Amino acid sequence: MNRGWLIATSLVILLVGGVRAQEKLNLNTATTEQLVALGLTDSQAGQIIAHREKSGPFLQVDELLAVQQMKKETFEKIRDRVMVDE
């Protein structure tokens, strides 16, 4: 077996596996730690959880914009990495 072919095939497998491994985070079940791992601050994560507890589950991802301390720029950075129950 050609060594170059083996290396190229291994790289493709690693790249495809990495893409699939990135799943969206559910805003209605996310913990503070999970939200911080997305790049939010502890304070922003706490505000999301407090909003969820006070107002009920998020029905749409766009509802994040109603959360105190959620800036439009931050929302745009994480919007494709979060989801709500369907």
The count of structural domains within the chain is 1
Supply the range of the domain harboring residue 63: 24-83
In a domain, 48, yes or no: yes
> Does some domain include residue 70?
yes
Q: Identify the pLDDT of residue 61.
A: 97
Q: Which amino acid is at 19?
A: V
- Both structure tokens of 47: 């505000």
Position 66 pLDDT exceeds 70: yes
What pLDDT, in 10s, does the model give residues 5-61?
556 555 444 444 433 446 899 999 999 999 999 999 999 999 999 999 999 999 999
Q: What is the pLDDT, as a whole number, of residue 8?
A: 54
- On whether residue 45 sits in a domain, the answer given is yes
Which residues, listed in sequence order, are joined to residue 26 by a DSSP beta bridge? 83
Does residue 1 fall inside a structural domain? no
Domain harbouring 57, CATH code: 1.10.150.320
Question: Does 49 fall in a domain?
Answer: yes
R_g of the chain computed on alpha carbons: 18
Using 50, 70 and 90 to split pLDDT, how confident is the model at 85? confident
